[in-house]
Amino acid sequence: MKRVIFIVIFATLYLNSYSQCDAPINVFNSNINYYNADVNWNYQTNINNYRIRYKKVGDTIWSYKNNIDSIAITKNLNNLTPLNYYFWQIKSYCDSLGTNSSQWSIADTFYTSTINCPNIIGQFTNNISYDNATTNWTVNTNANRYKIRYKIYGTTIWSYLGPVYHPNNEKIIPLLQQNTTYEWGVMAFYDSTTQYASLWSISDTFTTSVFIASAFDPNISNSLNNTICNTSTDLTLFVSQSINEPDIETSTITSDGGYFNIQSLTMGDSVGYAIMDLATQTISTTLKVGIIAGQNYALINSFDSTGSIIGFFAIENVSSGIKISSTSPNDGNSYTTGFTSEIHLTNLFINPNINGPLNFYTDIISELNDQFSDTTTVIIDCMIHISDNNTEEKLNFEIYDLLGRKTKFIENSVLLYKYSNGEVRKIYTLKK
């Protein structure tokens, strides 16, 4: 009998020596939201650290928060699932090795829900095209920002967009597949953290349209500021495309006369400007000389307003005349949203020193290997100047049609040019 009593006493002493700290008491929860909650307990003395375990009611796998500071009396549990009951407990560790601990505390439960983070309502979709759509929702004045999720209807993997900061309440979903149904939703965050967030809204759906490509038919125009032979002139290159035409990959412009005065250039010289009107913005750039490779070749760089190079092209003097060549970077989409582009080279081109037609030939290849060719013809006139003191003087002129009516320049038409010296010339400008 004495031996049994001794064994019992020894076991009790052993257990008491192995568990020297008590489990926290007065456990409770507070500040409950959809995705997080605070759990709380009374301060314990002689504690090295705490450990918390928690799980959804009915689950078998626990999640843990480890090495909680000994002076702490609260901990935020995050990444919770909304609208679920959770079960949690806490234990004390008496040493830094984690070998001496209390039992788990009594259990506490809470439900992840809140009235402080209302859901977003009023969703609708507009401006739906074959590859994007605009999502809209009703503004909540208490929101800090919004987040959008979307996916192909019937699939399981979401894509996300954001943040969209209040008071903005629309967002374009880009890079969609044509003729495809999508669903999307939006959630709101009610402070600068992720703690106070709403549930996802009810999903809205939309279907993208079918893409219909336009024919590859750029509008090309190459023109000179004056047509007086053997004089410098501005050369303007114009190209435009309609929406959904194949993107331009390479373009080459050549002439059968004239030349660029490259030998007068030095690196960094300004030689003109360019303007590009896109669907959503206008880009104005300055053209400056880059690399010069002799008197017959130079690269021209295009600088935006920040001083960054956003493009370049090459100018050359070849045996027949001039050559301008450029390659457009691939943007990952083989079709344009529509644009107009003007390149103005100032006093860089020298007209040929012969009377008659000057042809500019444009050859363009699209990213889909479509080919397009165009010819613009201007008439160079070596008679439109006076040379009393061996210097050339440009004359003013007015344009008339064949019936004697004053008119403006018209392509592919015979026009009468009346110059300030009284001379009248019949000129035909051909655009093929």
Is 219-382 the same fold as 124-207?
Answer: yes
* CA–CA separation, 38 and 64 (whole Å): 14
What local confidence, expressed as pLDDT, does residue 332 receive?
81
* 183-227: pLDDT as tens digits: 999 999 999 999 999 999 999 999 999 999 999 999 999 999 999
Strands (E), 225-292: 232-241, 248-255, 259-260, 270-277, 282-292
CATH of domain 219-382: 2.60.40.10
* CA–CA separation, 64 and 98 (whole Å): 15
Task: Give me the residue spans of the domains in the chain.
Answer: 2-111, 124-207, 219-382, 383-432
Entry pTM = 0.60
The low-confidence residues of the chain, meaning pLDDT below 70, are 1-20, 384-396, 402-404, 409, 411-412, 419, 421-432
Q: Identify whether the C-beta of residue 377 lies closer than 8 Å to the C-beta of residue 274.
A: no
What local confidence, expressed as pLDDT, does residue 296 receive?
96
What local confidence, expressed as pLDDT, does residue 402 receive?
66
CATH of domain 2-111: 2.60.40.10
Q: Identify whether the C-beta of residue 74 lies closer than 8 Å to the C-beta of residue 40.
A: yes
CATH of domain 124-207: 2.60.40.10
What is the overall mean pLDDT for the chain?
89
Q: Identify whether the C-beta of residue 232 lies closer than 8 Å to the C-beta of residue 347.
A: yes
Tokens linked to 330: 């691939």
* 168-195: pLDDT as tens digits: 999 999 999 999 999 999 999 999 999 9
What local confidence, expressed as pLDDT, does residue 424 receive?
66
Neighbours of 234 (CB within 10 A): 15
* 240-256: pLDDT as tens digits: 999 999 999 999 999 99
* CA–CA separation, 246 and 213 (whole Å): 8
What local confidence, expressed as pLDDT, does residue 282 receive?
95
Could you tell me which residues come within 8 angstroms of residue 228 by beta carbon, excluding any fewer than 6 positions away? 351, 380, 381, 382, 384, 385, 392, 394
SS3 content of the chain, % helix, strand, coil (to 5): 5, 50, 45
How is 32-75 classified by DSSP, letter by letter? --SS-EEEE----SS-SEEEEEEEETT-S--EEEEEEETT--EE
